[in-house]
């Protein structure tokens, strides 16, 4: 883990340096001042997290809420400006191979204005809340009793400094209005300590479905306390699945609902290493085997384990443009319904957001999956 942290710090330092260098072009002749201000900006959009992690009670105060929203919005502006600038610099380098014409003087200010505009539109999408995305999943040899089965998936809610009780309560209301037969929560439920966020996750206790409400861990639970979040999920009425399953029935048809821990779990708790084969193990025959797995890449072990459908999240679909352009380079399956061998993999863009409240062109979602019989 130490080498990963060292790599993270190195990359972060490089981004700070690059941003300062790029921002200096905004004020020719005052480069040192601009670099200094950009460094202070970095401290602002990242440093507030140390206070949040302290668990101080004043996090419910107006001043802290203002700080959290301002800093995270600033992070969204920075992240957008960063990719715009990198894209332009790479394009300019290629262009200069064929031309010696300098870049237009208005370009730095134009990039900054574009970043503010895109981040603002992304914030507006966040404030509108998640969309309900309806997906039909054709399953071979699906028995009549399971045709039309309604599964609602929530993923990557990230309850924390800016996602609070009201947001969560709205999600719950929308889910219940869909009248699901089964509810799946596929990790990254929150960013914070369960005790600190207890009031903000409480609305989740209203979730209910005939076949149950199931939960698996994501990587962010392990950044705080995965055992505590597993216990909190159970307290809220969910059924945590830690490399295990439950077999439920609809009429005469059995459904195996399996769940695995996040693939990073072994780095934090060795005996919680993700194990799809263990999650599939059962002496009961099932007409459908459903796996909840936070990361899409669990499919490589899940498909040979015999699952028919895997529900995942983690990628956020890139969360916002232009970061969404890069996500295919890191994940084979990163959004929507995908076929992996004989198994379907559905990847949610996430019900909340992580870091900046920014969802430009990639709205968050509540997913309603309906099972249908695959036509012969």
User: For 32-46, how does the pLDDT look when each residue is reduced to its tens digit (9 = 90+)?
Assistant: 888 888 889 988 998
Last residue of a domain, one of 72, 103, 127: 127
Last residue of a domain, one of 127, 143, 178: 127
Quick one: tokens of 102? 């300098």
208 with 348, same domain: the answer is yes
Confidence at residue 50, expressed as pLDDT on a 0 to 100 scale: 85
Confidence at residue 24, expressed as pLDDT on a 0 to 100 scale: 84
Quick one: tokens of 177? 């209005």
Confidence at residue 13, expressed as pLDDT on a 0 to 100 scale: 82
State the Cα–Cα distance between residues 238 and 212, nearest whole angstrom. Answer: 8
Taking 70 as the pLDDT cut, the residues of the chain under it are: 1-2, 4-5, 56, 95-100, 102, 376
146 with 65, same domain: the answer is no
310 with 172, same domain: the answer is yes
Confidence at residue 97, expressed as pLDDT on a 0 to 100 scale: 64
319 with 359, same domain: the answer is yes
68 with 215, same domain: the answer is no
Domain of residue 252, residue span: 132-373
60 with 46, same domain: the answer is yes
7 with 45, same domain: the answer is yes
Residues 6+ apart with CB under 8 A from 264: 219, 222
Confidence at residue 2, expressed as pLDDT on a 0 to 100 scale: 67
User: For 53-91, how does the pLDDT look when each residue is reduced to its tens digit (9 = 90+)?
Assistant: 887 677 888 999 999 999 999 999 999 999 999 888 888
192 with 339, same domain: the answer is yes
104 with 229, same domain: the answer is no
200 with 113, same domain: the answer is no
Confidence at residue 9, expressed as pLDDT on a 0 to 100 scale: 76
Last residue of a domain, one of 94, 127, 160: 127
Q: What's the first-to-final CA gap in the chain, in angstroms?
A: 49
The domain tally of the chain equals 2
55 with 176, same domain: the answer is no
326 with 368, same domain: the answer is yes
Residue 346's nearest CA partner among 305, 296, 311, 304 is 311
């Amino acid at each position: 883990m130490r080498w990963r942290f060292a790599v993270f710090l190195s990359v972060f330092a490089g981004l700070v340096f690059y941003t300062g260098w790029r921002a200096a072009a905004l004020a020719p002749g005052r480069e040192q001042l601009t670099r200094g201000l950009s460094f202070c900006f970095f401290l602002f959009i990242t440093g507030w997290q140390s206070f949040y992690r302290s668990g101080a009670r004043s996090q419910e105060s107006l001043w802290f809420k203002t700080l959290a929203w301002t800093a995270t919005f600033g992070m969204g502006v920075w992240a957008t400006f960063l990719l715009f600038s990198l894209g332009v610099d790479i394009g300019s380098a290629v262009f200069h191979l064929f031309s010696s014409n300098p870049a237009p003087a208005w370009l730095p200010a134009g990039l900054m204005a574009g970043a503010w505009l895109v981040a603002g539109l992304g914030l507006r999408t966040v404030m509108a809340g998640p969309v309900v995305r309806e997906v039909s999943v054709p399953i071979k040899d699906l028995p009549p009793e399971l045709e039309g089965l309604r599964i609602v998936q929530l993923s990557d809610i990230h309850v924390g400094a800016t996602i609070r009780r009201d947001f969560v309560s709205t999600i719950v209301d929308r889910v219940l209005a869909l009248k699901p037969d089964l509810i799946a929560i596929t990790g990254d439920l929150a960013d914070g300590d369960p005790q600190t966020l207890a009031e903000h996750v409480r609305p989740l206790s209203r979730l209910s479905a005939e076949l149950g409400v199931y939960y698996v861990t994501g990587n962010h639970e392990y950044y705080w306390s995965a055992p505590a979040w597993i216990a909190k999920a159970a307290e809220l009425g969910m059924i945590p699945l830690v490399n295990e399953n439950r077999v439920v029935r609809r009429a005469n048809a059995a459904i195996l609902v399996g769940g695995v821990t996040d693939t990073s779990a072994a780095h934090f708790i060795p005996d919680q290493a993700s194990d799809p084969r263990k999650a599939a193990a059962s002496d009961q025959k099932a007409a459908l085997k459903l796996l909840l797995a936070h990361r899409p890449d669990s499919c490589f072990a899940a498909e040979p384990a015999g699952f028919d459908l895997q529900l995942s999240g983690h990628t956020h679909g890139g969360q916002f443009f232009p970061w969404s352009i890069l996500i295919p380079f890191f994940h084979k399956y990163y959004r929507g319904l995908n076929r992996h061998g004989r198994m379907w993999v559905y990847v949610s863009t996430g019900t909340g957001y992580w870091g900046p409240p920014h969802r430009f062109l990639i709205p968050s979602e509540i997913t309603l999956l309906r099972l249908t019989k695959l036509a012969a």
